[in-house]
Amino acid sequence: AQSVAQPEDQVNVAEGNPLTVKCTYSVSGNPYLFWYVQYPNRGLQFLLKYITGDNLVKGSYGFEAEFNKSQTSFHLKKPSALVSDSALYFCAAHFGAGSYQLTFGKGTKLSVIP
């Protein structure tokens, strides 16, 4: 079965330090990969996506993600965390033509400590 996993329920990082939020996927074929962020009482906001091309994808608010096909991973990164980055982050994927249903991970809560 196709799935998306976020192995960490919570990530804590000090303000100004680099952050990484992990995501792995299980699929046959080439996935389309996404990161969304959710602030309290708000809907999900799109951050970035990978379809094809460069393995390093740059997105909104200084975030980037690295696609690694051999490790089936798509980790979200930021060089210097801000307190305002504290939120719930979701990795998602759909698995190609004919079925564009987005499958989400369970989410990772990021807390940036001042």
Partner 1 sequence: EAGVAQSPRYKIIEKRQSVAFWCNPISGHATLYWYQQILGQGPKLLIQFQNNGVVDDSQLPKDRFSAERLKGVDSTLKIQPAKLEDSAVYLCASSPSRADIQYFGAGTRLSVL
> Interface with partner 1 by CB under 8 A: which residues?
4, 32, 34, 36, 41-46, 49, 90, 92, 94, 97, 99-102, 104-107
Q: Shortest Cβ distance from residue 44 to partner 1 (Å)?
A: 4
CB atoms within 10 A of CB 88: 16
> Looking at beta carbons only, is 15 or 27 nearer to partner 1?
27
Q: Shortest Cβ distance from residue 108 to partner 1 (Å)?
A: 10
> Looking at beta carbons only, is 22 or 49 nearer to partner 1?
49
The first and second tokens of residue 21, run together, are 């939020």
Q: Shortest Cβ distance from residue 43 to partner 1 (Å)?
A: 4
C-alpha count within 13 angstroms, C-beta hemisphere, residue 52: 3
> Looking at beta carbons only, is 15 or 73 nearer to partner 1?
73
What's the burial of 18, exposed, middle or buried (CB within 10 Å: 0-12/13-18/19+)?
exposed
Count of all residues that appear for the chain in the document: 114
Are 78 and 85 spatial neighbours (Cβ–Cβ below 8 Å)?
yes
